[in-house]
Amino acid sequence: MSVGFVANIMGQAVFQVLLMAAPMLGLGLLVGLTISIFQATTSIQEQTLTFVPKIVVVLGSLVVFGAWMVNSMINFTMRIFGYIPDMVK
C-alpha cells in the first residue's frame, strides 16, 4: 500500500463527506440568508428567530435526501471494501 493509494482513499472520503453535507448546508445557508434579509428589512433583531427555521429545513432536507445519502454511503463503503485486496499487497 503506497502513500498515493492512501491519499487517493482519503481524498475520496473527504469528497464523500462534502457531497453528503452539501444539501443540508446549502439549504440551511439559503434559509439563514433569507431570514437575515427579512430581519434587516423589518428591523427585527431577535437572535433566536433564525434557529427554528434552519433546524426545520435541515431536518426536512435530511428526510428528502436521506435515501440518496444512505445509498451513496453504501456505494462508498462497498468501494472501500473492494480496495481491501489492493491494501494487502
Q: Residue 18: what pLDDT?
A: 96
Going by the DSSP 8-state scheme, the letter that residue 43 receives in this structure is T
Say how far apart CA 37 and CA 15 lie, in whole Å. 31
pLDDT at 89 over 80: no
pLDDT tens-digit map of 44-82: 888 788 889 999 999 999 999 999 999 999 999 999 999
pLDDT at 47: 79
Q: Please write the tens of the pLDDT for every residue from 10-44.
A: 999 999 999 999 999 999 999 999 999 998 899 88
Whole-number Å distance between alpha carbons of 3 and 32: 41
For residue 44, the model assigns a pLDDT of 83
Helix/strand/coil for 83: coil
